[in-house]
Structure 1
Amino acid sequence: MKALPRWYLIVGFVLLVWLLYLLGPMLSPFIIAIVLAYMGDPLVDRLERMKISRTWGVIIVFAIFSLVLTILLVVLVPLLGKQLVRLYELVPQMIDWTQHIALPWVQAKFGLNDNFWRLDQLKGALSDNLGKTTDIVSMVVKKVTASGMALVGWVANLLLIPVVSFYLMRDWDLMVAKLRLMLPRHQEETVVKLMGECHEVIGAFMRGQLLVMLALGVMYATGLMVIGLELGLLIGVFAGLASIVPYLGVFVGISSALIAGLFQFGLDPYPLLAIAAVFVVGQMLEGMLLTPWLVGDRIGLHPVAVIFAIMAGGQLFGFSGILLALPVAAVIMVLLRHAHDFYKQSGAYNNGEVID
């Protein structure tokens, strides 16, 4: 049998990408299910080594995931909701403090005109809408209930995630083995090596960087709440999530925490120094303990590449693209590294001399 021309493979790949683009709106539950199955597979494998059947191992892992999700929904979400409402209430007061205390000080220091800042309109708009929260909520509820099919579709997608994830997690090793059997025999070793490196990089991110984000979020939120910062939980969680990009979490967290601290404590230096100390200690622990222990140097994605991947994924494929952005970027990084090594050994780089 004749081998397929390479342009067939290229056309097939382009068609696959185009099909995924068209199916983007419905891919989110499947992508989330794949991520959960990928993260849960090592736990199931470990339970299998303890003489527990694959099915029961999946059930145990699902029970652990469900317990963690329940704790988040019952404990964390209501607390974050309260702080979001409190932040919404404080915004007009923060604008007032900025306009009458902070900005006059800046004007005096830099000799700016009195009419340089115009925050009255923004403050008035926020104050007018402050009492309309219930109206906004009722409007959203009416919109959702008016589109019954959209609501049914959303619930169906939500219920689809655990079902798909269960079957993927149960059959993960079997599917990987079947995919390996489909590889061209003369290229199996190379492809398996590349996929092994991709797996190491993706695993380092998904099981390492996410744990670093979780640990930083807990440390930041706990430290800020101990200090007594009113929005400490909200800022700590947000800073932990922003830590997906190196150094972005500490920058966003300390900036927002110091602004909230200035508004709450005034110019009292001790709470502000304590806020700064929380993020300094968190950054030291991340650099010296968390990242080397949980992640190591296996990811290798530059912070700019991380930002670009997330933005590009969201622009091209929406929420599904955001979920896939960093794993795809990690795979591309591995392939580019091997392409770079191949180029350095080729005749194009070595003036016609090929290095074995």
Structure 2
Amino acid sequence: MPIFRRETRVWFFLAVSLSTVLAVYFLSPMLAPFIFGALLAYLGDPLVDQLERLKLSRSAAVSLVFLAIFVVIGLLVLLLVPMLHNQLDALTQRAPEYGEWLDDTATQIASYFGVDADAINFKDVAKTYLPEAGSATKGLLEAVFKSGSALLSGVVFVTLTPVITFYLMRDWDLLVARLYELIPHALKAKVKELATESDSMVSAFLRGQFLVMTGLGTIYAFGLSIIGLQFSLLVGLVAGIMSFIPYLGTAVGVILAGVLFVAQYQDWVALWKVALVFGIGQLIEGYLLTPWLVGDRIGLHPVAVIFAVLAGGHLFGFVGVLLALPVSAVLAVLIRHAVGHYKESELFNDGNEQSVNPDA
């Protein structure tokens, strides 16, 4: 007699899914290094497989890819963090000056249209809030080092992530094979089809979109530095990170760069330079980066991406943000197949048959 009857299988899989969600919810404070390590191992596994095909051993291939990943991450941290810190300091120091210029400009525009602009004083706002925001940003690292629990969590994350990444990358193919063995035989073919399609979706997000974000951030930062924007790296980083949502990164970058550029040079006409930088960035993205690195494999609506990130962060914190896009990509595949089955079902087609044959 089989352990799982047909009518209990659905409840079994629902129970497993619910248990997994609850485990992630309650264990999320300690899962960050495991999730981040798993994502890095997933990104590195194809490179390891390629090196294996070149007759390298699995251990040697994993060691090379592992070293490359963390050398790149280390260099980015060492190069970008001090530069971003300096730009934040400079922005904090110049905030009152920018606020005074915005206040004078708003007053002139309001007087031109006959509107009283005394209700808004950008100079006071800048003097009050922007330095506080800058000091809060600088104080974040100090708070981390002063807080014992936060320091411990940071040390655990930095220490465990490389270890977890190495061992998961080394045993990735073995773990996948063992998970596949646990799938019921009747479902193996379908699960393999869904897994292959999901892998294509997730890899498009994690590999392709990450490279697009990095490329756009670099283009924007380099272009804005050429036209003389003092905070080019900061604006480029923000625009690049937000570019995973189509057009949002460009919109935010144009507004932020435009305001800072005009405040720095007090020249409205020269805004065409900012528009040129972001226009070139969009052309490179549309005709080179996205078709080459991402293609048409994503298929997630921008609103779905926003919802996934916000929902993941709200429910599971930082772990939820890390999981949001991969999980939403897999769910998109499952929903697409479920909709296909629904359209082929009697529930969907019964009314259509009646409408075709009303006398039946």
- Determine if the TM-score, normalized by the shorter chain, exceeds 0.5: yes
- Cα offset for 1:120? 5.4
Mean CA deviation greater in 345-354 or 32-41:
345-354
**What SS does structure 2 have at the residue aligned with 1:2?**
coil
Give the letter aligned to residue 350 of structure 1: N
In structure 1, what is the Cα distance between the partners aligned to 2:129 and 2:314? 30
Q: Deviations over 1:119-144 (max 9, x none)?
A: 454244248859x959x74x974x55
Give the letter aligned to residue 264 of structure 2: Q
- Cα offset for 1:66? 2.1
1:122 matched residue in structure 2: 125
In structure 2, what is the Cα distance between the partners aligned to 1:175 and 1:181? 10
Give the letter aligned to residue 348 of structure 2: Y
1:2 matched residue in structure 2: 3
In structure 2, what is the Cα distance between the partners aligned to 1:233 and 1:21? 36
Does the aligned pair in 2 maintain the 1:21–1:317 contact within 8 Å? yes
Does the aligned pair in 2 maintain the 1:31–1:320 contact within 8 Å? yes
Does the aligned pair in 2 maintain the 1:346–1:352 contact within 8 Å? no
Does the aligned pair in 1 maintain the 2:32–2:319 contact within 8 Å? yes
> Counterparts of 1:195-234 in structure 2 under 5 Å?
195-234=195-234
Q: Select 2:109's aligned residue among 106, 109, 115.
A: 106
In structure 2, what is the Cα distance between the partners aligned to 1:191 and 1:353? 31
Change (3 A) 1:140 1:174: closer
> Counterparts of 1:84-103 in structure 2 under 5 Å?
84-101=88-105, 103=106
**What SS does structure 2 have at the residue aligned with 1:223?**
helix
Count matched residues: 348
In structure 2, what is the Cα distance between the partners aligned to 1:47 and 1:318? 36
In structure 2, what is the Cα distance between the partners aligned to 1:144 and 1:296? 40
* CA RMSD after TM alignment: 2.2
**What SS does structure 1 have at the residue aligned with 2:348?**
coil
> Counterparts of 1:235-314 in structure 2 under 5 Å?
235-267=235-267, 269=269, 271-314=270-313
In structure 2, what is the Cα distance between the partners aligned to 1:127 and 1:351? 63
Divergent runs of 4+, >6 A = none
TM-score computed with the length of structure 1 as normaliser: 0.92
Does the aligned pair in 2 maintain the 1:346–1:353 contact within 8 Å? no
Change (3 A) 1:263 1:147: closer
> Counterparts of 1:134-173 in structure 2 under 5 Å?
137=139, 141=142, 144=144, 147-173=147-173
